[in-house]
Amino acid sequence: MSQTMISVSSLNTKIKSLLEATFMHILVEGEVASVTYATSGHVYFSVKDKESSIKCVMWRSAVSKLKFLIEKGMHIVIEGSVGVYTPRGEYQFHVVNVEPYGKGALALAYEQLKERLKAKGYFDSSQKKVIPKHIKKIALVTAKDSAALHDMLKIIEKRWALVEVTIVDTLVQGEQATSQIVRGLKYADSLNVDVIVVGRGGGSTEDLWCFNEESVADTLFNLTTPVVSAVGHEVDVLISDFVADLRAPTPSAAIEMILPDVKEILYTLDESIDRFKQHINQKLYHSIKEVQRLEEVLLRTSPSRQLHESKLEFQRLEEEFGRLIDYKLERFSSLLPELQKNFKQNIHFILQQKSQYASHSMQKIEINNPQLQCRKGWAKVSQNGESIELNKIKIEEKFILENASIKLEALCLSIKTV
C-alpha cells in the first residue's frame, strides 16, 4: 500500500480544522425540529429542512442575550459556526444568534411574552385595582432628569398642586433599566401612596424594551398599590400597559387621567353652592309658608278663640231657647184651662178607683185574718212541734191546740168519725 495511514484522532482533527475554518460566521435557515433547555443554561436543538437536519447548540452566554424562546416548529435563521467534537467524530452548529425568519426577534419575543402572561391571567380585568378618586399621595417612577418627569410635574402643578409627590429615580433605558424599574416599583409600593405612575417618553422599540420584560410584568402584577403605565407615545403599546391597572397614552395624559382639574373642581363647587343656595331658599320659603299655615291653625284652634266662639254659640243658643220657650208658653197658654179641667177629672177618677180597690183589699184582709178565723172556733193542731191532721192522732196520745191567743195541751180519749 502506497497510501499514508493516519489515526482516527488525526482524521477527526483534520476534519475539525477543515470544517471550522471553512464554515465560520454563516447563516442557516430552517425549522426547529426539537429543542431542549438544559439546567446549565445551554440550549440544544436541531434545525431541519425537507431533506436533512443538523444538531445545534447555543451556549449560556449567547442564550442570555436571546429575546425570545426557541420553540419546536419555529422557522428561524441561525448565525454561527460549525464545530467538531473530535472524541466522537461528531459535528454540530455552534449558534451565537437566532432570528425569527421574516420577523424581528423583539416582535416575536413581545408576542410570546404577551401570550404567556395572558394565560397566567395578568391581563384579566378582574385583577385590576381601582384607581382612587381622591388622590393625596402619588409616586412617579421614572428618570429624575427626564422630559417625561418635567411634563408630569407641570401637569400636577397646573391641575392639582395639593397632591404630595414622591419621585423614585430609575433608569428607563439600557441593560440596567429592567432591574432598576423592578426595584423602583417595589420601593414605591412601600411608600403607602395612593397611586404609582411608571413610565417615560417616546423612543425606539429597543429603547422601550425594558417595559416589555417579564420581571417588570411580574412586579406590576404583584403590587398592592394601583399603578398606571405611561410609556412612550400613544401608538406605543407595551407589556406594562396590559399588566398595569390603567394604561395612559403618555406620561402627561396619565396625570390628566388620575388627577382632577382644580378649575373644574372650582366650577363644580360654584355650581354646588348655587344649587345649595337655591335649595336653602326653597326650604326657607316652604318653611315660612308652613309657619304661616300653623299660625292660622293655632289661631283657629287656640283656647281663647275656642272660648270666644263657644261663648257666642252659647249666647245664640240661649236666645234661641228663649224664643222657643216664649213660643211654647204662648202656644200652650190657651190650652191650660182645658188641661187643668182634664187633669182634675183624671185625678178624681183615679182617686175613686184607688178608694174602691182599698175597700176591697180591707175586706180580703179581714176574711183571711187568722185571729178572726179563731173566733169562729178554729184552732191549730200540732204534735211534737209540727202541724198534724186529727185523723193522725191515736187514743191516749197527747197533742196541742192553739189559736192566736191560747195554747192547750190535750189527750185523745176516743175517736169518732163524723
C-alpha cell at 320: 234661641
34-57, pLDDT tens digit by residue?
A: 999 999 989 999 998 888 988 999
Residue with the larger pLDDT of the pair 123 and 21: 123
C-alpha cell at 351: 182617686
Query: What does DSSP say about strands 407-411 and 398-402: parallel, antiparallel, or unpaired?
Result: antiparallel
Give pLDDT, residue 180. 95
Count of domains forming the chain: 4
Residues 88 and 130 in one domain: no
294-339, pLDDT tens digit by residue?
A: 888 887 777 777 787 788 888 888 888 888 887 877 777 777 777 7
Residues 173 and 205 in one domain: yes
Alpha helices, DSSP H, located in 369-410: 370-375
How far apart are alpha carbons 290 and 110 in whole angstroms? Answer: 72
Determine, yes or no, domain membership for 317: no
Q: List the CATH number of the domain containing 78.
A: 2.40.50.140
Residues 252 and 129 in one domain: yes
Secondary element (H or E) of residue 50: none
- Supply the mean pLDDT for the chain: 86
Residues 268 and 158 in one domain: no
Residue identified by cell 180519749 is: 413
| Burial class of residue 142 in the structure, from the number of CB atoms within 10 Å of its CB (0-12 exposed, 13-18 middle, 19+ buried) | buried
Q: What are the residues whose beta carbons fall under 8 Å from the beta carbon of 37, sequence distance 6 or more?
A: 43
Determine, yes or no, domain membership for 325: no
Domain extent at residue 228:
112-260
How far apart are alpha carbons 65 and 57 in whole angstroms? Answer: 15
DSSP 23: S
Q: What is the pTM of this model?
A: 0.51
Whether residue 97 has pLDDT greater than 90: no
Residues 54 and 191 in one domain: no
Residues 163 and 95 in one domain: no
Q: Which of 248, 274, 299 is the last residue of a domain?
A: 299
Greatest Cα pair distance, the chain, in angstroms, is: 205
Residues 137 and 19 in one domain: no
156-168, pLDDT tens digit by residue?
A: 999 998 999 999 9
How far apart are alpha carbons 70 and 99 in whole angstroms? Answer: 10
Secondary element (H or E) of residue 115: helix 105-119
Residue identified by cell 408630569 is: 152
Could you tell me the pLDDT band of residue 135, with boundaries at 50, 70 and 90?
very high
Alpha helices, DSSP H, located in 369-418: 370-375
Q: List the CATH number of the domain containing 148.
A: 3.40.50.280
The 10 Å Cβ neighbour count of residue 406 is 9
Mean pLDDT of 276-293: 91
Most confidently modeled range among 94-103, 118-127, 132-141, 313-322 = 132-141
Q: Among residues 27, 101, 94, which one has the least CA distance to residue 68?
A: 101
Residues 48 and 121 in one domain: no
Residue with the larger pLDDT of the pair 103 and 160: 160
Give pLDDT, residue 366. 66
Residues 279 and 405 in one domain: no
Determine, yes or no, domain membership for 188: yes
Residue with the larger pLDDT of the pair 209 and 138: 138
Q: Among residues 56, 58, 61, 71, which one has the least CA distance to residue 109?
A: 71
